[in-house]
Structure 1
Amino acid sequence: MGKYASQASSQQQSIKNAGGRRRLILWICFMLLFLCWAGYTLINQRSQIADMNMELINKETTKTETDQTVLQLEYEVNRLQDPEYIGQLARKDYGLYRPEETPIRPDISSP
């Protein structure tokens, strides 16, 4: 009986080891799947963050350009309150002169 008892206990031991191995393999498979999912998520989020950073930089550049344009337009609006500037625009852009002014035109044909 000793021989059969040892065989029975070794069969029970191997059955327990087989169950433990199965649990270990399942746990390793689960951990691999989890790590793959976590890696994919990390890489995906990094690319989204990089895209958003580029978009932010582009919008900040556009905002800076728009702010500069607004400042330039405000400056020109303030200059339009000055009668001397209005006179310069009338002379330069529209060819309008005061009656007492004589326009001087350069000779275009000479180099």
Structure 2
Amino acid sequence: MSTRTMATTSATTGVRRRMKLLLFVMVIFMSWAVYVLYVQHGLMGDRAGDLQEADKKLNDATVQSEALKQKIVQLNDREYVEELARKEQGMGYPGEIPLEIK
């Protein structure tokens, strides 16, 4: 064998070894990346369910808040308060005789 063939053979052996090492590192990295993607996809599904539940609670709270605001407006109305006092407490004006119908 000539020295030129031997030098080329050892050089290509080194290149092949480095390429195999690079390929191994890339396979390990890509495996890790796929694993992380899979785990994050599962977490996103869980978070989506939590988000829907939180949105439902927010909508319920908003509806309740609007109902309470409407009740506040009604309770600031003098006629509504008088009506409540007559119906629920049996109250009336002085000299007025309340009638109970059963």
TM-score, normalised relative to structure 1:
0.70
Task: Supply the AA of the counterpart residue of 2:51.
Answer: L
Task: Supply the AA of the counterpart residue of 2:81.
Answer: I
TM-superposed deviation, 1:7: 5.8
Matches within 5 A, 1:41-80: 41-80=36-75
Return the index of the structure with the highest Cα Rg. Answer: 1
Q: How many residues align?
A: 99
Q: Any idea what SS the aligned residue of 1:104 has?
A: coil
Could you tell me which of 85, 97, 105 is aligned with 2:91?
A: 97
5+ residue gaps in structure 2? none
5+ residue gaps in structure 1? 1-5, 106-111
Task: Supply the AA of the counterpart residue of 2:62.
Answer: D
96-105 or 28-37, which moves further after superposition?
Answer: 96-105
Distance across 2 between alignment mates of 1:37 and 1:60: 34
Task: Supply the AA of the counterpart residue of 2:91.
Answer: Y
* Residue in structure 1 matched with residue 13 of structure 2 by the alignment: 18
Q: CA RMSD in A?
A: 2.3
Flag the 1:82–1:103 CA change in 2: closer, same or farther, 3 A.
Answer: farther
Q: Which has the higher contact order (CA 8 A, sep 6+)?
A: 2
74-83 or 15-24, which moves further after superposition?
Answer: 15-24
TM-score, normalised relative to structure 2:
0.74
CA contact under 8 A between 1:97 and 1:103: conserved in structure 2? no
